[in-house]
Structure 1
Amino acid sequence: MTSAAGGPLLLLDGASLWFRAFHAIPDKITAPDGRSVNALRGFIDMVASLIVKHTPSRLVVCLDLDWRPAYRVELVPSYKAHRLDRTPDAAAGAEMVPDTLTPQVAMILEVLDAAGVATGGAAGLEADDVLGTLATRERDDAVIVVSGDRDLLQLVRDDPEPPVRVLYAGRGLAKAELFGPAEVSAKYGVPQQNAGHAYADLATLRGDASDGLPGVAGIGEKSASMLISRFGSLDALRAAVDDADADLAHGMRAKLRAAEDYLNAAAPVVRVVCDADVELSRSDVLPTEPADPARLRDLATAYNAESPITRLISALSAVRTT
């Protein structure tokens, strides 16, 4: 199988995208046996659309093998705690997921396997960490990370080559925004020269309610942006707290001192792992035809997904060949 010559490495945040597909498409759409297939159909359409638009040479759908890693919970116990499934018969540590979405994840993985699209995961870690590792270690092709999670903006880079861009799909793929260091700097007011790291520092100060991270009391996004812009990094800002000559208001020093323990814990929680032991299901080279065409046709019929799977096959066949 051949692939798009010189195309980017496309890294997809699997759960982030299929959650969005699930909520964007009515779950009254079902397979012949009555199972909901809205997330499946929407996700496969997303993959096909992204292939057509970005003509990647390689592609990996990145998976959560542990959606709430123990080391992050140990550091910040509130991390994602609000998303735990607390129903009486739920497994310990299970995430609260719509009943009709859970079975569709297995269906999606079946379709990706038959299509020949690689998936990747790292034991004990989240998809964010898989995305972070694959993007950081890439040395050949430009990288596009696709996610609805703003935390991944910390991965943007221009140097060292190759560049990493984040296609932020928080408002859906149709309204997705492509971020590099310049765009992160312009939107969040952080230094462009270290925009990725600076965004993670800003996020640590600001917090993130969607992840159960409270942030520093009294510091919102604007204050965090101003502080990181002025001092360049969270480390430099924290050093300034103990420097009597630093240009830092008394009230702000007090807030940062009070949050010292939180900052010690939260910084490594917010930063994605960039050296995980990632395992891929197969080569990440994007095929120009399905790995198992007969099985893919059978899945298309069984899951009432003929249209999106046909679009995926068409997208693969349109990939430029070497």
Structure 2
Amino acid sequence: MTDRLMLLDSASLYFRAFFGVPSVSAPDGTPVNAVRGFLDIIAKLVSTYDPGSVVACWDDDWRPAWRVALIPTYKAHRVTETVPGGRDVEEVPDALTAQVPLIRETLAVLGIPIAGASGYEADDVIGTLTARAGGPVDVVTGDRDLFQLVDDDRGVRVVYTARGMSNLEVVTDDVIVGKYGVHAAQYADFATLRGDASDGLPGVSGVGEKSAATLLQTHGTLDGVRAAAHAGTGMTARISTRIVDAAPYLEVAPEVVQVAREAPVDAAPGPLGPVTDEQRRAAEEFATTWGLSAPMARALNALAAAAR
């Protein structure tokens, strides 16, 4: 067993499982393809990276009001309705929505803790637990926003799932520099300038990935870029004007893009313990009920091996 903490971006993984595993149902007809895929993802991750502890990080609020107050378009395109009390409902396939409680039960029988924080996204939970960690961390996600957490000196890396579970990529600072031309410590500023349509972040008009990278290579930080734009130095007049004109956005966007490091997360990750006979019996009973015996066995065996 290593001392490496593994933090799961749970929603990212169960969406991947749902769309990656063909439709399959439990004996009572309930769809369980996402649960099956999630179990196999856990087995693959634990077997491959041998973590000392694992935490499933959860979106207690997928679209926090404080982020929306700063940028109203934040994730707005994903809202299907707003229910009484002002809570926004995210667009999620019904067959997946039905499986999310089962995924939480699955994590419980496996002994993997779930961590969330009221008013915060899973990204913020991950950022907070990473900041608290005394040792190395693997962040498992398909969301490149979390590249900002990569820290080679601390051994913080991202296990990136965007190309599929059979083609996982371990993202370090060198990888980010190779992909984008900026360091991990600059990634949030890079994302702010570039914007992200998938999150409803407009970015600075006319500034794409290449120009955002060039600006940060030259000026170091977003503050440096803005200062140079106001001085009219180190960039074209067109880009300078666009950055100055984007001042209202650039005043608030960094707080939206930056992952929180001090969210009120009530979790203290502990080491993986041995899989007890009682735990195995409970997990196998749960798996039999839902037609998940084979993937449950794979996950249990991976956890048992990692705990040795």
TM tier, smaller? over 0.9
In the alignment, the residues of structure 2 paired with residue 308 and residue 93 of structure 1 have an alpha-carbon distance, to the nearest angstrom, of 34
Q: Which residue in the other structure is 2:165 paired with?
A: 173
Q: Which residue in the other structure is 2:50 paired with?
A: 55
Matches within 5 A, 1:168-247: 168-190=160-182, 195-244=183-232, 246-247=233-234
Matched, 1:145 2:139: yes
Aligned alpha-carbon RMSD (Å):
1.8
- C-alpha deviation, 1:20, in angstroms: 0.5
Matches within 5 A, 1:51-130: 51-86=46-81, 92-130=87-125
- Name which of 13, 19, 26 aligns with 1:23: 19
* Alpha-carbon contact 2:60-2:122 (below 8 Å) kept: yes
The 1:269–1:97 alpha-carbon spacing in structure 2 relative to 1, beyond 3 Å, is same
Unaligned runs of 5+ in 2: none
In the alignment, the residues of structure 1 paired with residue 17 and residue 248 of structure 2 have an alpha-carbon distance, to the nearest angstrom, of 38
User: What do the CA deviations read for 1:60-110 (whole angstroms, capped 9, x no partner)?
Assistant: 010000000011000000000000013999x84111110010121110111
Q: Which residue in the other structure is 1:278 paired with?
A: 265
Matched, 1:132 2:127: yes
Unaligned runs of 5+ in 1: none
In the alignment, the residues of structure 2 paired with residue 72 and residue 92 of structure 1 have an alpha-carbon distance, to the nearest angstrom, of 14
TM-score (norm 2): 0.95
Instruction: Specify the code of the residue in structure 2 equivalent to 1:20.
Output: R
- C-alpha deviation, 1:179, in angstroms: 0.8
Instruction: Specify the code of the residue in structure 2 equivalent to 1:26.
Output: P
Instruction: Specify the code of the residue in structure 2 equivalent to 1:302.
Output: T
- C-alpha deviation, 1:8, in angstroms: 1.0
- Name which of 11, 27, 33 aligns with 1:38: 33
Q: Secondary structure at the match of 1:166?
A: strand
The percent identity for this pair of structures is 45
Instruction: Specify the code of the residue in structure 2 equivalent to 1:249.
Output: T
* Alpha-carbon contact 1:114-1:296 (below 8 Å) kept: yes
Q: Secondary structure at the match of 2:88?
A: coil
* Alpha-carbon contact 1:7-1:58 (below 8 Å) kept: yes
Matched, 1:154 2:148: yes
* Alpha-carbon contact 1:51-1:316 (below 8 Å) kept: yes
Q: Which residue in the other structure is 1:13 paired with?
A: 9
In the alignment, the residues of structure 2 paired with residue 212 and residue 273 of structure 1 have an alpha-carbon distance, to the nearest angstrom, of 19
- C-alpha deviation, 1:181, in angstroms: 1.0
Instruction: Specify the code of the residue in structure 2 equivalent to 1:214.
Output: P
In the alignment, the residues of structure 1 paired with residue 300 and residue 162 of structure 2 have an alpha-carbon distance, to the nearest angstrom, of 26
In the alignment, the residues of structure 1 paired with residue 161 and residue 216 of structure 2 have an alpha-carbon distance, to the nearest angstrom, of 25
* Alpha-carbon contact 1:117-1:284 (below 8 Å) kept: no
User: What do the CA deviations read for 1:240-294 (whole angstroms, capped 9, x no partner)?
Assistant: 12224x32211111000111101111111011001111123x7532222057333
- C-alpha deviation, 1:52, in angstroms: 0.5
Instruction: Specify the code of the residue in structure 1 equivalent to 2:72.
Output: P
Q: Secondary structure at the match of 1:173?
A: coil
Instruction: Specify the code of the residue in structure 2 equivalent to 1:177.
Output: E
In the alignment, the residues of structure 2 paired with residue 284 and residue 109 of structure 1 have an alpha-carbon distance, to the nearest angstrom, of 18
Q: Secondary structure at the match of 2:54?
A: strand
In the alignment, the residues of structure 2 paired with residue 320 and residue 62 of structure 1 have an alpha-carbon distance, to the nearest angstrom, of 20
TM-score (norm 1): 0.91
Matched, 1:256 2:250: no
* Alpha-carbon contact 1:118-1:284 (below 8 Å) kept: no
User: What do the CA deviations read for 1:139-165 (whole angstroms, capped 9, x no partner)?
Assistant: 2x2111000000000000123xx3100
Instruction: Specify the code of the residue in structure 2 equivalent to 1:151.
Output: D
In the alignment, the residues of structure 1 paired with residue 139 and residue 4 of structure 2 have an alpha-carbon distance, to the nearest angstrom, of 10
- C-alpha deviation, 1:177, in angstroms: 1.3
In the alignment, the residues of structure 2 paired with residue 173 and residue 74 of structure 1 have an alpha-carbon distance, to the nearest angstrom, of 36
In the alignment, the residues of structure 2 paired with residue 228 and residue 176 of structure 1 have an alpha-carbon distance, to the nearest angstrom, of 28
The 1:88–1:15 alpha-carbon spacing in structure 2 relative to 1, beyond 3 Å, is closer
